[in-house]
Amino acid sequence: MKEIRNNSHYLWRVFFTIFVSLGHSGLINVSTTSSYIGVDYFFIISGFFLAYSITITNETTLQYTRKRIIKLWPHVLLSYIVLFLFNDTHFTVSSVKRCLLHLPEIIPGAYFLSDFSLTNEYMFNYPIWYLSCLLIIGGVVHYGYSKHREALIALSPFIISVIFAYMIHNLQSFNSGDTVGIMLNIYYLRSFAEMLCGVMVFELVSKNEHVYKPIYYIIYRFIEICLGTLIIYLSLTQGNTKMDGFIVIFIILLCYSGFRYPQRTSNRKIIKVIKWFSDLMYPVYLNHIFIFGACRKWGITDRIMLHGTFFGLVILYTILLLYSCVTMFCVNWIMKKIKDSKRYIYE
């Protein structure tokens, strides 16, 4: 495999480094709830560019990773320089000396950030975390593309869902003392999940569609159905709107239609049934977020649900299905325009 240099590939990384460094240094307000999603999109875009930059050659994953380390080091240094220049309120000679004494711990970025008294909410998504994640996930995607491309794409929704489930399980630990350890465990994994979403976006809009084996197609669609059912159930019982939005947007929306229907096996009824259920459930997931998010915001969730009665659930799902027809039409129209466009990813 080799890396393709397009005009904006490296410019995006420089922009990301400067923007997030400034934001996490307090010069750009990113601490509001609605602003964090912007950083997540950078991870998704990075995964998209990562998949775009990989093409099949005889290069091994180890050789590919070694070249990437050499190329990414300037961006690591730039992220440090930006923080030193713009975070002057925490910049002292003694803090620099402590950082030099703990140089091995600076590499992942955790000690460096805590030593400069940056708050914990500014620690995650810092460029050094992003760059190290980019190196690791780059090796994983390169190996998957080289050896097991179909399996990588088929199992990505499951991997992503496990990571987000792990995050939800550990959210309560933020109030404990081991915040740095929690950041290392959770937000590295979150970066992996979002970059995998970017890879699947590339598979979705790529000019070169692949015909996948029936077993991988079945796995992909089955996982999608199970995830959607679980999301709806948890949201009705737990009401975690923010996390529902992350899961639905990053898993269902970006993974939708990521596989080309295997034409050679189109006569198999099980694949037809799975495809029908999956295509039907997708807009249900998406509209669920808009409808229930609005209902919770306006404080009318309980009135619509009728206190969780069966009749209330029937009303909810009826509304969802009606909106789903419109959503399915719009999404299919948009995807058709993307795939029919002459501005393909590959020249």
- Report whether 174 contacts 236 (CB < 8 A): no
pLDDT (0 to 100) of residue 145: 83
Residue 164 lies in a domain: no
The answer to whether residue 163 is domain-embedded is no
Our count of domains for the chain comes to 2
Q: How far apart are the first and last CA of the chain?
A: 17
| Residue 142 belongs to some domain of the structure | yes
In a domain, 20, yes or no: yes
The model's pTM: 0.54
**pLDDT < 70 regions, the chain:** 1-42, 55-56, 75-76, 78-130, 157-158, 161-162, 164-187, 201, 203-212, 217, 220-221, 223-268, 270-347
- 234 neighbors 259 (Cβ within 8 angstroms): no
Show the CA angle centred on residue 154, arms to residues 53 and 282, nearest 5°: 105
Q: Do both 132 and 233 map to the same domain?
A: no
Output the pLDDT for position 248.
47
For the chain, how big is the Rg over CA atoms in Å?
A: 22
Q: Report yes or no on 171 lying in a domain.
A: no
226 and 331 part of one domain: yes
What pLDDT does 25 receive?
41
* Domain range enclosing 84: 1-150+178-204
Q: How buried is 234 (Cβ within 10 angstroms: 0-12 exposed, 13-18 middle, 19+ buried)?
A: middle
* Whether residues 139 and 219 fall in one domain: no
Average pLDDT, whole number, for the chain? 59
Q: Encode pLDDT of 69-82 as tens digits.
A: 787 777 667 666 65
Residue type, 48: F
Is residue 294 located within the same domain as residue 317?
Answer: yes
Q: Is residue 347 part of a domain?
A: yes
**Are residues 94 and 224 part of one domain?**
no
Same domain, 255 and 189: no
257 phi and psi angles, rounded to 5 deg: 55, 25
Predicted pLDDT at 120: 41
Other CB atoms within 10 Å distance of the CB of residue 104: 7
| 121 strand-pairing partners | none
In a domain, 17, yes or no: yes
Range 241-277 burial, b when 16+ CB lie within 10 A, else e: bebbbbbbbbbbbbbbbbbeebeeeeeeeebeebbeb
**Left if phi > 0, otherwise alpha if psi is -120 to 50, otherwise beta: which for 109?**
left
Same domain flag for 307 and 345: yes
- 229-251, pLDDT tens digit by residue? 665 555 555 544 444 445 444 44
Tell me whether residue 68 is in a domain: yes
Predicted local distance difference test score (pLDDT) of residue 149:
78
pLDDT of 72 reads 73
Question: Are 81 and 44 part of one and the same domain?
Answer: yes
Are 48 and 189 in a shared domain?
yes
* Number of neighbours of residue 136 by Cβ within 10 angstroms: 15
